Amino acid sequence: MTQDTGKIVSWLKQSGDPVKTGDAIMEVETDKATMEVEAQANGFLTGIKASAGDDVPVGQIVATISETADEPATPSQVTANETQDAAPFGDDLPKGKSIIMPALGMAQDTGLIVAWRKSPGDKVTAGDVLLEVETDKSVMEVEAGHDGFVAAILAQAQEAVPVGSVIAIISDVAPENPISRGLAAVSAPTAKAAPEAPPAKAPEPKPKPANKAAPQQAPQATQPTAGGRILASPKAKRLAREQGLDLSRLAAQGIAQPFHVADLETLRALPPVNQAGNTNAPAAAILHIAARVPASGCDDFIQWFADDGKIAIEPASLWARFAAAALRSARQSGSDSLVLGIDRPNSDPVNYADPDMTRLSDLEPMDADRSADLTLRDLTGSLLTAVRLTADAGPVLTIGRDGTAYVLGLDFMSGQLAEQEAIAFLTDFAGRLNEPLSHIL
383: left (phi over 0), alpha (psi -120 to 50) or beta: alpha
Give per-residue pLDDT as tens, 69-105: 876 545 444 343 333 433 444 557 888 888 888 776 6
135, 208: one domain? no
pLDDT band at 170 (very low <50, low <70, confident <90, very high): very high
Q: Is the pLDDT assigned to residue 262 strictly greater than 90?
A: no
pTM confidence score = 0.39
Rounded CA-CA distance 244/254 in Å is 20
Helix axes 296-308, 315-331, angle to 10 degrees: 120
Residue at 72 is within a domain: no
Q: What is the mean pLDDT of residues 42-50?
A: 89
> What pLDDT is stored for residue 319 in this prediction?
92
> What pLDDT is stored for residue 406 in this prediction?
94
Could you tell me which residue, 439 or 197, shows the higher pLDDT?
A: 439
Let me know: does 230 contact 222? Beta carbons within 8 Å: no
Name residue 306's beta-bridge partners: none
Residue at 44 is within a domain: yes
Q: What percent of the chain has pLDDT over 90?
A: 18
What CATH number does residue 415 fall under? Answer: 3.30.559.10
> What pLDDT is stored for residue 213 in this prediction?
37
Q: What is the mean pLDDT of residues 285-312?
A: 87
332, 415: one domain? yes
pLDDT band at 39 (very low <50, low <70, confident <90, very high): confident
Boundaries of domain holding 259: 203-282
147, 267: one domain? no
292, 430: one domain? yes
Residue at 144 is within a domain: yes
Q: What is the mean pLDDT of residues 407-424?
A: 87
Give per-residue pLDDT as tens, 358-404: 876 667 787 666 778 899 999 998 888 777 765 556 889 999 998 89
Could you tell me which residue, 140 or 440, shows the higher pLDDT?
A: 140
241, 186: one domain? no
Q: What percent of the chain has pLDDT over 70?
A: 74
The DSSP H or E segment spanning 289 is: strand 286-294
> What pLDDT is stored for residue 294 in this prediction?
94
- Could you tell me whether strands 374-378 and 339-343 are parallel, antiparallel, or unpaired per DSSP bridges? parallel
In the chain, the number of structural domains is: 4
